Every structure is written in structure tokens, then in C-alpha cells.
A and B are shown apart, each in its own frame.
Chain A
Amino acid sequence: MKNKKWLSLLIVSATLIYLVLPLAATFMYSIAKEWSHTVLPISYTLDWYKELFTDLRFLSAVGRTLTVSVIALVASVVTMSVTVFVVYMYLPKLERYLQAITMIPFAVPGVVAAVGLIKVYSSGPIVLSGTIWILVGAYYVLIIPYMYQGIRNSLRTIDARRLMEAAEILGASKMKAFSRIIVPNIMNGIIISALLSFSILIGEFVMANFLVGGSYETIQMYLMRRLNENGHLSSAIVIAYFVIVLMISWLMLKLGTRFNQKEVNKENAA
């Protein structure tokens, strides 16, 4: 068996190259000055990044993406943590239904969600079509599965029921126990799910395109429009976007290990 280890190594290396290649090419393109008829660029430059970060249109697209994502995330963190907590603590019978509801967005692709949202909000009593609120709502729903899983798992790991009991015996009100004891303890879990959700939202194109279209250009829509105009600039956008995703993943990893570390310490102390 041992003599075949080189084969595994070969396969893993080949996979790595395969996965890296499109990214590496995009990166090369983003720093290439002249690159049209040769295999490797003739000369390099950082001008594309300079151009990108001084382009007002790009900066406002970043601002728009951040605005929509942050509103949806804040709404999600506040309402979901309360909902998941209340159901977990006081209405365990509803847990099955809550879980079923949180799974639905998985089975609804962006384009399908867009069909229904356009139908409901382009006419009738509430018209949201073309405003950012329809996108905020759509994003709120999109990240429900991830937020639910994260919050639910953290409540389980900290054994929220016993913590609440202890706090209440010591004289804290339910509200106080929740805000002072439970929330700080699950904060790490909430932040990790929020970061994951954020990296999904900044990569979202389909719903932004259908729901707000030209009136609210997000990063992904800006990229889509620039795709055929300027390849170098587009690759600079892709790399910038990817660096953000990379930083988010790194942060999640750090927070995750800190969270696990705490658990380990707790177990050792017990």
C-alpha cells in the first residue's frame, strides 16, 4: 500500500493545480500590462487596481453591496437569534417546523425566488420592485439556513437551558439572562454564521439582477457589465472580491478555533 503514496500525492497536487489555475490566470491578467498574443504577459502593472479603486462607479457599487448585505445581516442576526432561542427554550415542539422552514431556501434557486418576489411586489398593496427593500428581503431569506444552523448549534454547545436556569435562580429576569448571558456566549457562533452569510451575499448576482436591475448596481452587476469592456479591470475586481472572501474565511477559521479552544478548556477544567 505504501508504495502507492506517490499516486495520492500526484492526484492531490493535480487537484490543487486544477483548482488554482483559473484563479492564478485571473490574477496574472489583473497585473498584466500587455498580454494579447503571448503565453505570459510581456509587462506588468498595478494600474488596473489604481483605476478600479479610483472609479467612483465601482466604489458606489461596493457601497451598495455593503448597504444591502449589512441591513439583511443585522435583521437576520437580531430576529433569528431571538426566534431560534425562544423556540429552543420554550417551544421545543415547534422546532421541527422551524427547521423545515429554514430548509426551504435551499430548494429555491435564485431565479425561482425572483419570479415569486417580482409577482408579489411589482403591483398590489405593497410595491417594492426596484427598491433595495425587495433585495434586503430576498437576502434575508437566502441566508436563513446558514444563520439557523450556526445559532442552533451554538445554543446546543453552550447548553443554553441550564445557563438560563442558573441565571434565573440567581435572580436575573428572562430578558436580562438572554441579553447578558446567552448572547455573549453564542456571539462567536453568530459572528461565524454572519461572516459565512456575508461571503454568500457579496457573491450574489441573480436576485440583484432581477429584483433591482439597473437601478441599483451591486459589485457583481458591475463586474458583469465590465466583463466585455475591459478584461484587465474585470480581473482586478475578481481578485479584489476573492481577497475579501479569503479574509472572511480566515477570520471564520480563527474565530472557530477560538470557540473550539474555549470548549476544550471548559472540558479540561470540568
Chain B
Amino acid sequence: MNRKVTLFAIIALLPFALLVVGFLMLPLFAMIHDSFLAADGRTYTLEQYIAALTSPYYSKGIVNSLKISLYSSFIGMVIAFVVSYSITRMSKKIQNFMITFSNLTSNFSGVPLAFAFIILLGNSGLFTLLFKEWGWSMTDAFSLYSWSGLVLVYVYFQVPLAILLLYPAYSGIHKQWRESAALLGASNLQFWTRIGIPVLLPSIVGTFSILFANAMGAYATAYALVGSNYNLLTIRIGSLIAGDVATQPQLGSALAVILGLMMVAAMWINERLMQRFRRDLR
């Protein structure tokens, strides 16, 4: 009987296991293995990691990716913090509508999103023309195809996601708390700094780490906007494995491992902080 059950379980789990091993585990291990090889593909070495971290070209890409992820996550977070709160003060109908709508627009990323922003703010975009008509040339101060443009587009895809993740947390703040705090003489600001934000903190940290990972791994948006010109970690990896110039899969693997480690680190920090906050709350 027992053996029969084991056999049955193995047969049932086999297809899933094969697919996961074949298309998830094996590729990940192969990539990690590859990252420790020299360009000849045979000798073991750390030179790929040294190159990735010391070459100004690649380290700049890593720093740029970190920067844009931190900026866009932070701005997206601040916007979502205010907006989610405002949403909770609307009628139930508007609340549902806004959440459904955020859910919908959170699908709006990558190539289509880049394209929509080109229509709005590109060289002959809607606003670019509008401002020109008003007499100011926007191109002096802002270009969609530069750093500031990229931050703007990244923030756009972070906001709906951040609203979706943060909004449920507000249900943890009860109306009575605000009333009691007000009765005891706390100002609005005091309520938020002493009660509101500490209660929301685990959700804020959790949302931030997801936004951060989301931005770190983004490729299509930046690629559609500026091609391979912009120095981001994902773009660099892309051109190393399938570029116009000679490909360097080993270096690409090393950069991919670095990116993967950053994602894991973001998740890990989130996990740790959550535990600490929960202990404090107890």
C-alpha cells in the first residue's frame, strides 16, 4: 500500500518536477557555473566578477540600476502612501473602482508603456508640442530619452503596483484610533508619526522591496525607450548574451548572478525587517 502511494505520488509529480528542473533549476545552475569560468569556457576563475565590479562600464550600469530602482521605488511609495490613504476616504464604490483601475494599469508596462510616453513626451509628443505652443521649450529642461525621463516612466509603472500592495494595509488603521488619539490631544501629524506610520511600517517595507525588485529586473521599458544606449544592469546583460558585438556569456552570467543576488537580498531584508517589526509590535 505504502509503496503504491509512493509510486503514485512520484508519477503524479514527475511532469512538474521535470519541467521545473529543466527550465528553472538547470538553467540557474548552468548560469552560476558559467559565471565562474574564463572566456575560454574551461578554466575556473573569478575574473568575470572582478571585471563586473571593477570595470567602470559595468559597475556604472550596476550603480545606475540601483539608483533608478531606489528613486522610482521611493517616489512611487510616497505617491502611493498619500493616494491609498485618500482612496480609503472615498465611498466603497469609488474605492473598488480605483483598485480595479490600478490593477488594470499595473499591466501597463514594458514596450506599450514606453510607447505611450513617447506619444506624450517624446520629440513630437503631445505635451512637447503643447509647451512649444506656449513658448517654452521643454527639451532644454527635460528629455524623455534621458535619466529623468526614465525615472518618470519607471515611477509610472511603480505607482499602481504600490497602491495595490499598500491599500489593504490601511484597513489595519481603525477609525477609532484616530478618534482616541484626537481626544487625547494628538495632532494629525502626531497621529501619523507616532501611530499611523509605525503600524503601516511592515507593509511599507514589504511594498518597497517588491517595487525595488520590480525596477531592478525591468528591461523592456528602458530598452523600448532608448535601446541599448542606456547603461542599466539588465540592458548590459542583454547585450552581453545577444548583442550586436561579440557575445560574452560568462561575463553576462556573472552580471546576471549579481542581479539575482540583489533581488534575493531585497526579499531577505524585507523578511528580516518584517520579523523585527512584528516582534516590536507584540
Instruction: Give the distance to chain B from A34, nearest Cβ to Cβ, in Å.
Output: 13
B224 within 8 A of A: yes
Contact with A along B237-281 (1 / 0, CB 8 A): 110011000000100110010011001100100000000000000
Q: Spot the interface stretch: A35-43, A52-60, A62-70, A180-188.
A: A35-43
Instruction: Decide: A38 near B129, CB < 8 A? Known: A107-B267, A116-B31, A140-B19.
Output: yes
Instruction: Give the distance to chain A from B27, nearest Cβ to Cβ, in Å.
Output: 3
Instruction: Decide: A119 near B249, CB < 8 A? Known: A19-B160, A107-B264, A109-B263.
Output: yes
B5 within 8 A of A: yes
A contact residues around B126 at 8 Å (CB) = 25, 39
Instruction: Decide: A144 near B20, CB < 8 A? Known: A25-B120, A90-B9, A107-B263.
Output: yes
Q: Spot the interface stretch: B50-58, B108-116, B196-204.
A: B108-116
B184 within 8 A of A: no
Closest to B266 in A: A107
Closest to A15 in B: B83
Q: Spot the interface stretch: A155-163, A205-213, A261-269.
A: A205-213
Closest to B249 in A: A119
Contact with A along B23-34 (1 / 0, CB 8 A): 110111111001
CB pair B83–A141 under 8 Å, yes or no, is no
CB pair B112–A238 under 8 Å, yes or no, is yes
* Most chain A CB within a 10 A radius of its CB, from B26, B27, B216, B249: B27
**Complex A-B: 27 CB contacts under 8 Å:** A9-B90, A12-B87, A16-B101, A19-B160, A22-B119, A22-B156, A39-B133, A79-B19, A90-B9, A106-B267, A109-B216, A111-B219, A111-B259, A112-B31, A115-B237, A137-B23, A140-B19, A203-B110, A205-B220, A206-B238, A210-B238, A213-B242, A220-B110, A242-B108, A246-B104, A249-B100, A253-B100
